[in-house]
Amino acid sequence: MGADFVGNNTLDRQDRQDVMLGLGGLQSKFKICIFEEINWSVKMKTTTLLLATIAIIGLVGCKKTDNYTPAATASGEDIFNMNCTKCHKPNTDGSVMVLNAAVANKDAIIKKVQIGSTSMAAFPNITGESANRLAEYVLANSKTK
């Protein structure tokens, strides 16, 4: 230990396995982001730090990419229920979202979905007709602030 370890910031095989297990469902951008953090914390060589780092990423938010690709026949409602309701819970009046006026148009909704944000996953594969149907569904079923 000690001197032997100085300057070694690569993950050993077990660390890698642990990391991959923990990352199972996460998408590539998030992985890269986590890996940068993990490389740093493996240097510190404590599991506690590793977990704390992951928790911090969870809190601060690190942009994720969702590679979901809609089936050609998926309706806007299908796409919404499959991908969006895990974060956007429908309101008690049945509307699915309360949109800021600036986002209450199809182009802005499509852009938001494809680009995401620090707290919202990006869905770069929802494009074309699917994106159009999704945006129409969101617009038709949302209220505007």
Assess 13 for contact with ligand HEC (CB under 6 A): no
Assess 62 for contact with ligand HEC (CB under 6 A): no
With tokens 């602030």, the residue in question is 145
Nearer to ligand HEC, 41 or 75 (CB): 75
Nearer to ligand HEC, 50 or 138 (CB): 138
Whether the Cβ atoms of residue 41 and residue 53 lie closer than 8 Å to each other: yes
State the DSSP code for 94.
S
Please identify, among the stretches 27-35, 43-51, 52-60, 97-105, the one whose residues bind ligand HEC according to the rule CB under 6 A.
Answer: 97-105
Assess 86 for contact with ligand HEC (CB under 6 A): yes
Whether the Cβ atoms of residue 134 and residue 125 lie closer than 8 Å to each other: no
| CB burial string 80-105: b at 16+ within 10 A, e below | beebbeeeeeeeeeeebbebeeebbe
> Pairing between strand 97-99 and 142-144?
parallel
Q: How many CA atoms lie less than 13 Å away from 144 in the CB half-sphere? A: 8
Q: Find the binder of ligand HEC among 34, 84, 122, 139 (CB under 6 A).
A: 84
Shortest spacing between CB 40 and ligand HEC, in angstroms: 25
115-144 residues near ligand HEC, rule: CB under 6 A: 117, 119-121, 123, 134, 138
What is the phi/psi pair of residue 141, to 5°?
-115, 15
Q: Which residues bind ligand HEC (CB under 6 A)?
A: 80, 83-84, 86-88, 99-100, 103, 109, 112-113, 117, 119-121, 123, 134, 138
